[in-house]
Amino acid sequence: MEGPLTINDIPPELLIEVFQHLAELEPLGILDYPNDDVATTLGYSDLRDSSKMIVDAGRSEDGIDRDYHYHDYYEGSMSASPTYSLAWTRATHVCGRWRSVALSSPSLWTAIPFNLPRDWLLEVIRRAQQAPLDIYIPEASWYRELMVLLCELGDRHRFRRIACENANAMTFNMLGPRLLKGREFDTDLEELDVVTTSFPAADINAFRSMRKLSVTFKLCEPDFGAFDQNAATLIPPSLTELRLAVTSLVDPQDYTLSSHWIGTLPNLVVLDLDHLRFEFPIGQDEIFLPRLRELRIAEARESCGYFVRFARMPHLRKYTMQYNKPVYPTTTNLTGVRAMGFGRVLDDVDESIPPLHTLSLSQFLSSFSGLIHVHGWRFGHTGNDEDDLRFPIQDTETRISDADISHNVIWDNATGDDTTMANFATVLLSHPALSSLRMLSLDLHPRLDLGDVHAWTDLFQPMRQLRHLRITSPRSDIGLPKPILDALVAHPWISDGFVLPFMERLTLVDWDPKKEQSGDDLRTLALLRVNNTPLKSVHIVSWRRCFDEDWQERLAELEGVATVYEHLFVPLDRIRATDEEDSGPDYEYEEYEGSDVDFDDTDDDEEMWQPGVPVGMWHDIF
């Protein structure tokens, strides 16, 4: 396409795709900002005034966009005020053509949040035509209102997904009495996500198409009831994703479900257990999960590592583990590290699972707690193709949301001198599966048992493919992991002279050049490696601008290696400044000169003016 492109020239199929992305990023009914909702923009009283509502292009004034009766809907509601957002639908008012495309695309209107006003809700369903519906019930919703809305819908067979955050909503009762009697339900429900205080004696097998079930028990002492005892017969064979969680405000602890669940696990592709564990039968050494690809586990105290001790998952691709307050010894060995779960994702994986190309290892100690964070990224399915390799760790941030392996451990350090798992880092790095690494990021406390230069030389020798080493100085500034730096210089007992012979980049985060020998050691290392190895750049990343001049004095005249100085400061383009003068006064009590402001919402015949909102602006919002 040549020449400038106007908004009217965008093809409909491209517009629909853009709208789909907007609907996912900013769905209806979800508020990202407290002031980004209609209730705040128009005033709560306006929501009850049908003369101030919305006019939809293509509909008469006495239709949905004009004739709202919010007073009836919200009368007696437990909600303090309606909280909903116009969200992505703002884009449908750019021009008439965009709105026409949006209104003629039923798939854009299938997400139904039950915190919309009743008439808006019914209008969204009308726009969805006969497409399957995704129902969202927020935590603040009121049960009586939900029952009324569901009765008005009459289209429960169209429900594809239900997400209910209201623990008192009794979702299964709302779906119909037949469900509680074990009869097949006339719906194509595929996903059910509920928060509850106790699970009813409902036969989930009634949903023949269900593939995803998520249940969160919101109690200190949850009542699992028939959900636990009859799991083998209640769970449909079509289920491939299962998430079970217990949330409470007290200290986290694990709850046990009966062995009835074991028979449902082999069909799962995704399993997420949050402080819940299964009671494995006595004498059963392990359970084989041939289809499992993603595992997310949160365990506490003596339960830490319980599930991975029994489960064999040869095709596991994504692994996320959270251990809270486990009981570990002062030191460990490779057998102990494997038992934590690393053996399942490093030793027991199938040959079809690619190896790791990046590993981030952090271990902290403070006066209150100890922390271990391990994050790993695997090669793509193309194998070791360098074109497929993208380092996920930047100098200024570490993104862990997309990590294939995440293992997090936290324990109390009441005495302040606890050195639990002090040698964990060196033991984990000795695992032979890590020889595939292209990037390694280390952030280790100096009070840990980090070994000497010989230990790190032995750890680095198998990592011949490593290209990028990133080392962070401890935040306490007690000292530097000097043995790591010393291991990078030439050693006569190494056949090639250097460990990490193909390392091209060295990144030092928050290192103080004035610390004893650190600046001189780095200069010596760079001079040695630049002429004998592929080292091309040394990145100095600092929280302190004062370090720059010191580093430049030490590394300014290095030939053959580029020294890059960076900062860990928030860039200006991420900062939004707001003028306090634009925030406006408190409208409820402020007098405005030159304007006739009436805050009485009893007169429905006269349009109310709100400061900062032009008269008539609300007529074409939804």
pLDDT of residue 556: 65
pLDDT of residue 185: 53
Residue 55 lies inside a defined structural domain of this protein:
yes
Per-residue confidence at 227, pLDDT binned at 50, 70, 90? low
Residue 53 tokens read as: 């509502």
* Residue 237 and residue 266 in contact, taking contact as beta carbons nearer than 8 Å: no
Is the pLDDT at 38 greater than 60? The verdict is no
Q: What total number of domains does the chain contain?
A: 1
Is the pLDDT at 617 greater than 50? The verdict is no
Q: How far apart, in whole angstroms, are the C-alpha atoms of residue 608 and residue 49?
A: 10
- Tell me the pLDDT of the chain averaged across its residues: 72
Position with higher pLDDT, 471 vs 413: 471
Residue 394 tokens read as: 């930047």
Residue 452 tokens read as: 């000497």
Residue 435 lies inside a defined structural domain of this protein:
no
Residue 541 lies inside a defined structural domain of this protein:
no
Residue 12 tokens read as: 């409909």
Kindly report which listed range (123-132, 155-164, 462-471, 581-590) carries the lowest average pLDDT score.
581-590
CA diameter of the chain: 93
Is the pLDDT at 197 greater than 70? The verdict is yes
Is the pLDDT at 365 greater than 50? The verdict is yes
Give whichever of 35-39, 44-48, 483-487, 593-597 has the largest mean pLDDT. Answer: 483-487
Is the pLDDT at 612 greater than 50? The verdict is no
Is the pLDDT at 225 greater than 70? The verdict is no
Give whichever of 147-156, 251-260, 312-321, 580-589 has the largest mean pLDDT. Answer: 312-321
Torsion sign across C-alpha atoms 455, 457, 461, 465: positive
Tokens 């003369």 appear where? 51
Backbone angles phi, psi at 375, to 5 degrees: -130, 135
Residue 95 lies inside a defined structural domain of this protein:
yes
**Which domain does 94 fall in, by range?**
12-104+577-622
* Residue 425 and residue 443 in contact, taking contact as beta carbons nearer than 8 Å: no
Question: What's the whole-model pTM score?
Answer: 0.75
Residue 42 lies inside a defined structural domain of this protein:
yes
Residue 168 lies inside a defined structural domain of this protein:
no
pLDDT of residue 30: 65
Q: How far apart, in whole angstroms, are the C-alpha atoms of residue 52 and residue 43?
A: 11
Residue 356 lies inside a defined structural domain of this protein:
no
Query: Mean pLDDT over residues 515-531, rounded?
Result: 71
Query: Mean pLDDT over residues 42-69, rounded?
Result: 35
Find all residues with CB under 8 Å of 42, minimum gap 6, and list them: 52, 610, 613, 618
Residue 164 lies inside a defined structural domain of this protein:
no
Per-residue confidence at 50, pLDDT binned at 50, 70, 90? very low
